[in-house]
Chain A
């Protein structure tokens, strides 16, 4: 008997002492048996994914041109209605508000598959994510009862209004104002919002504004019906052209006082926490797009003949195909690993008696570092994959009538919204440091241990471990040590001023990201080997090794740049030696490994993992 989506998160014992904390991966090893891998989707989850695929095939792909032309403004909301009829708008909404109460990883799976839907993907993710979740997680019972059923079915379409012309990355600096009327019954909102997804057709806006002269934002549920809302024409954009993006003006927009969300001054917290969820979902949606693009590109490479043969016979093309598949596989592994961690944390908080909405938020907040990492990694893998997709298509890749043009343009936004990748890189390190300072994450002792190890004579592999990935695991442990070493030294050097050394923060973030995703792939493949036998997962084993190799080289390079930037003389020499020791790699024939991966993908004529 297969398990259901809601039961599944309980398979892994949650809330036990051993549950991993957010960010803890840096200092603690996980075991393969404790991670969730996509090969474990239940039959029901697969069916849900198939429904999303079928929906794209039937409703979206035949209309991509029409959607992007924006000639029929009613088209996108009507497609959202159709998704609503299938229940796709309510996956995260509990059943008592007419949703389906799926666990987090299942809602990730839906986001992944729909992520290949171009402009539609952006519309549906804004509606179900940043549009719906603020009410789900911060609304009071009346607000939930009033709005969630309408949002879950699609009767109301939602938008999220945080950004302003002068307040983008610096989101708490918005100027939009809310003033309570004398009778205390309404807030009157005035201000201007920018880049608002779904703005053109939304019935409901989550609006962030400052009450009176507050320092902090508050959040409001604003219905279009309240009046006082006007907007500019659609923005002309590089990609996702069919996604509505508007500037919105609030002119004496009268909002009933009971539509204040959560408490006064809580808006920034809401914005940040909702974005946490948005980030990991954005990352996984990018992975969905990666799979679609890779499948198309492989198919094209098989069909297209030059010099009397399929271009997929050429080593240069095989290299690309292998890289596209490898990065996608690795990133996917990390996304669902984190998703399951979030589900497990949620279950354990529920068991401790926490309210479900609070538990959901807390569990995501716990893994906010991972969410930031995954937003960056997913969006950058997608840019890599679409870029190589264009290249494999050659001239046809550059044609506005081929599929790669749209994929390439649409991919680019992902590095910008939901917090730019620069902001997310810095956030990941910032959060890590804060947790270390607060004592919730003990980075100090492992960092000291690494320093001590640096002073000692290296062990030349006296105790060799055995088993699949024994060497790789050691390399991964060392990779983390390298990160701890550089980060530890940078903190000692700059103390509170580290935040001003953004270039170094970027280097540290890269080391952190690479360590996390490479480890996730390794754990996935190791677990998979246990399930299916090494013989049957050779391409996955190759991909894991290929990626680990690249991750270490990338981390080594980032570490070097950081060390050059802040250490000198003996200290520098010592750290460089340490870095070398911790990022040492045995020669490995990457070319042959990539060929094997590519040949497998080519034989399947699609992304097969």
Chain B
């Protein structure tokens, strides 16, 4: 691995790479082919847990492989603090904490100049990590709008077809939205 590039990526992730050097990266005629692996290594070195990262999906969230006795048993969403949100095919927001801003005073706390989404029509939903209270997602949505599943990656295609390193636990089942399984279970609890 190009150590110089790894250091650049580390600084880039921290927002500390000087702008002229970021521009150098932008101007590269061909990107470094190992970027993805370098990036994962940089990210993996920053967390206190050992589960193998498969993909970063947000500032604090990663899809990781869970193993038992050397065998992959699941792929879950995990916060850098270590909190796990369960199977990545289920929208991680459903396992988060939520706080909703509905009134003008509540909105003014984050839209401080008084220019804001209209509380008559919209609410601001903030999703926090149950482990570290980091704000992981925000939605400004009409009342009653389903929580949005932001990103469902096709990991098997990425690793096999685009990266050339197939995952050991490939299955067509991995690229499926399973969120409704959880909401169905919730519905059963209340009915």
A and B associate: no
Chain B residues in contact with chain A, CB under 8 A?
none
